[in-house]
Amino acid sequence: MNQKVTVIGAGNVGATAAQRLAEKELCDVVLVDIVEGVPQGKALDLAQAAPVEKHDAHLIGANTYEASANSDIIIITAGIPRKPGMSRDDLLATNKGIIKSVTKQVVQYSPKSILIIVSNPLDAMCHVAMEASGFPKQRVIGMAGVLDSARFRAFISMELNVSVENISALVMGGHGDTMVPLPRFSTVAGVPITELILPERIEAMVTRTRNGGAEIVSLLKTGSAYYAPASAAVEMAESILKDKKKILPCAAYLTGEYGISGLFVGVPVKLGKNGIEQIISLKLTAEEKKALAKSAAAVQELVDAMKKMP
């Protein structure tokens, strides 16, 4: 393949992302993990599936970063996932150290890459990666909005019994309990759901979307969601690799947009070969603005908490 993506963390999200990247024949894939043998074993297993799946992406696994050199994109999924009863914020201290360490190592070998951060708590980890990499804001992007919007879209599809392909949805804000699903900007074949679904049913779907990750954690009991998170990260990577310029909700470093400055928050952005090529500014109602400000405040709290950590 012409392009190369390194996925750091060969666990549930990372290995699934590697599989999707290869099976869509988007790029060669390097899987990196701290556990000896795991990235090598999973990469070999995926490579042996290639003849059946009919793709020619090369996959390799490693415990060090040499093989990742000159990657176009780095997807960071390293860290610990949450267990039942834990919020994403409970992962802060552990994952902060891991993200800092892996980012510093990987950017030495791929100084021109674009970082897609998946590890939680997502928005805070974007701050860690931006600081550790020294990359400009266009090249550090958090995966959350695509996942949260996909969850909202899935629930809308279940409610109306229509194809998921007809549904687009928008969830902004931080990737936590205060995220902001926006029914006004969520449509079925172009028709806003506010014209199709009763307000109390929409409210129920909004709540289920906010708790979408926790619902899966409580079912799995031993870890968190990974199929949909991997799909979301790969959609972002595809838009960058193919320079598609898709508008996708992602965590972006804001410098005044939506009245927010110096903070990663989920907003619609245009993703192309340069990373974030544009931040789309939507006109929000007073209520929507208030919800977004509340969500940004929750992200700020985590960023402030990290500053007090060693």
Residue 86 touches ligand APR, criterion: CB under 6 A: no
Q: DSSP state, 173?
A: B
Residue 211 touches ligand APR, criterion: CB under 6 A: no
Quote the least distance from Cβ 213 to ligand APR, whole Å. 8
Tell me the C-alpha to C-alpha distance, in Å, between residue 175 and each of 6, 22, 59, 120, 169: 23, 27, 30, 9, 15
Residue 9 touches ligand APR, criterion: CB under 6 A: yes
Which of 6, 68, 186, 224 is close enough to bind ligand APR by CB under 6 A? 224
Residue 119 touches ligand APR, criterion: CB under 6 A: yes
Binding window for ligand APR (CB under 6 A); candidates: 53-61, 73-81, 234-242, 263-271: 73-81
Whose Cβ is closer to ligand APR: residue 116's or residue 279's?
116
Quote the least distance from Cβ 163 to ligand APR, whole Å. 27
Residue 174 touches ligand APR, criterion: CB under 6 A: no
> Which residue sits closest to ligand APR, CB atoms considered?
11
Residue 141 touches ligand APR, criterion: CB under 6 A: no
Quote the least distance from Cβ 90 to ligand APR, whole Å. 10
- Overall residue count recorded for the chain in this entry: 310
147 vs 153: CA distance, rounded Å: 10
Helix axis angle for 199-210 and 212-220, nearest 10°, is 60
Site for ligand APR in 27-66 (CB under 6 A): 32-35
Whose Cβ is closer to ligand APR: residue 14's or residue 173's?
14
127 an active-site residue? no
The strand pair at 4-8 and 73-76 is best described as parallel
Binding window for ligand APR (CB under 6 A); candidates: 3-11, 132-140, 171-179, 300-308: 3-11
177 vs 214: CA distance, rounded Å: 10
CB 143 within 8 A of CB 258: no
Beta strands in 105-241 (DSSP E): 114-117, 140-142, 167-168, 171-172, 180-181, 187-188, 191-192
CA–CA–CA angle 243, 247, 250 (5° rounding): 100
Alpha-carbon 271 to chain mean position? 13
Whose Cβ is closer to ligand APR: residue 15's or residue 205's?
15
Closest CA to 77 of 27, 142, 139, 29: 142
Whose Cβ is closer to ligand APR: residue 12's or residue 149's?
12
Cα Rg of the chain, angstroms: 19
Whose Cβ is closer to ligand APR: residue 78's or residue 292's?
78
**Number of amino acids touching ligand APR (CB under 6 A):** 28
Residue 78 touches ligand APR, criterion: CB under 6 A: yes
Helix (H) or strand (E) holding 130, with range, is helix 122-133
Q: Which of 55, 58, 127, 175 is catalytic?
A: 175
Extract the tokens encoding 31. 């899987």
Quote the least distance from Cβ 14 to ligand APR, whole Å. 6
- Kindly list the residues in this chain that would bind ligand APR in the complex (CB under 6 A): 8-14, 32-35, 77-79, 81-82, 91, 95, 98, 101-102, 118-120, 223-224, 226, 229
Q: What is the set of active-site residues?
A: 175
